[in-house]
Amino acid sequence: MLRHLILLSSCILAFHLVPAQQKPNVIYIYADDLGYGDLSCYGATKIHTPNLDKLAASGIRFTNGHCTSGTCTPSRYALMTGQYPWRKRGTGILPGDAALIVPVDKITLPKVFKQAGYSTGIVGKWHLGLGDSVAKNWNGEIRPGPNDVGFDYSFIFPATADRVPTVFLENRKVLAADPDDPIAVDYTKKIGDDPTGAEHPELLKMKSSEGHNNTIVNGIGRIGYMSGGRRARWVDEELSSTFMFKALQFIEDHRKTPFFLYFALTEPHVPRMPATRFKGASGLGYRGDDILQLDWTIGQLMKYLELSGLKKNTIVIFTSDNGPVLDDGYQDGAVSMLNGHTPAGPMRGGKYSALEGGTRIPFIISWPTHIAPSISNALVSQIDLLASFAHLLGQKVPAGEAPDSEDHLQTFLGQADTEGRRILVEQGLADPTAIVEGNWKYIHPHPGPPLMHAVGIETGNASYPQLYNLKDDIGEKNNLATKYPEKVKELEALLERVTHK
């Protein structure tokens, strides 16, 4: 069907042209747990990502692009709301049955586009909660959700691929739900008679390394317990192609009017179970295979835009929600088959970390008719897309809303030789522990463990202050706090002011 859709688009061009638009289409592509060093355009040598390399060569490749946090839910919250996640309680990593944490009565990124006359859609991972409580009816209409915070269309899974419920939702309803096989979800106790990874490891096709041993779906143990919905449960190997088809279908359905598509990919988040055609293709285990699958997906999307005549007037943004992680709960070859690959590039840390490896990620923007190919060292953050697109589209952000989103439209479009943001607060697993000002980065003393043993990642936590010059020391190896005590005091005071304003 997907092939037929792509072929259909080429045939359509023979009969009509895309109407002229003043407003550009916008596609925001969000990878999941992809590191700065995971793409060949960012220096990877053990894996080749030709489609993302081509995208980067057609626009701006930022070398100092950031998410706000070292984990997924907080970064996604900041992207949607323009607010640092640590300003609101309950924005940590959510379980699959969590209530919606994005406010329905305030500005959001999709609302900026919707108010400007765009058709808005989300396809892929959500992980920002659904409904108004944990106790929700998975067998009826679930609200509030993406459709209540600015999206006209949504095709999502609720949380992460390693958490139940393992189902798709399309516009508030579980796809292929069966009233005779009702879905129930519980994160505190076992429900139903489905086998679990803890009880029946012999049924697993991918064994757990840490946790991830509750209800088994598609031969993989998950976090949390689920019963029912057997017809609705997705198959991991089909996730990527299903999301791609739905994304292309949304574009095809809205090609005559400006559209905003938030395309939230699942790769390379665990459980890594790529389509059969990609298994073993990277030589780096399933994590590497997942990255190749991601790159192929981007290639198919860009081919479709070109065939449909939409490429020239479409802004494509590609980033990741946080830094990389190898062993994140499954034995999938990510560690044993690493083969010299460095997912975080030259940086320390990764997912869960306040070090640069946790928040500095690939950040690419392409708009063929307006952005000249370049490489930018400007400090940019995903949190600023809301204010920047509001500027581009002539929309006002209500006073007091999206308080941390700054307008850096000129930097995003490569129209000014600027340094981007002046300051950026970075969050590891929980607290706002680091602040960047220009080339300086200060990490406040924090009582947490310096190493997350379960995943083998440095957190950036220490009992003493840390100060780094990122221009000379991107790897944060040389702590200059004792050499420049006045700078430490200055940045400590700045962090205090920002976090308490």
* DSSP notation for 76-141: HHHHHHSS-GGGSTT-SSPPTTPPP-S-SSS--HHHHHHHTT-EEEEEEE--S--SSSSS--TTS-
Which DSSP symbol is given to 5?
H
Contact 164, 215 (CB under 8 A): yes
* DSSP notation for 200-256: -GGG-SB-BSSS--SBEETTEE-BSEEES-TTTB--HHHHHHHHHHHHHHHHHHTTT
The topology under which CATH files domain 423-499 is Arylsulfatase, C-terminal domain (3.30.1120)
pTM of the model: 0.95
Contact 422, 409 (CB under 8 A): no
Looking at residue 1, what is its pLDDT? Answer: 43
Find where tokens 């045939």 sit: 11
Could you say which residues of the chain have pLDDT below 50?
Answer: 1-20
The pairing of strands 363-366 and 314-320 is antiparallel
Domain boundaries, the chain: 25-412, 423-499
- Tell which CATH classification among 1.10.8.60, 3.40.720.10, 3.90.1010.10, 3.30.1370.60 matches the domain 25-412: 3.40.720.10
Looking at residue 389, what is its pLDDT? Answer: 98
CA-wise closest residue to 230 among 318, 164, 315:
164
Q: How far apart are CA 242 and CA 305, in angstroms?
A: 18
Looking at residue 2, what is its pLDDT? Answer: 44
434-471: per-residue pLDDT in tens?
A: 999 999 999 999 988 899 988 999 999 999 999 999 99
Looking at residue 11, what is its pLDDT? Answer: 35
The reply to whether domains 25-412 and 423-499 share a CATH topology is no
Looking at residue 429, what is its pLDDT? Answer: 83
The pairing of strands 380-381 and 423-427 is unpaired
Looking at residue 43, what is its pLDDT? Answer: 98
How many Cβ atoms are within 10 Å of 400's Cβ, its own excluded?
A: 8
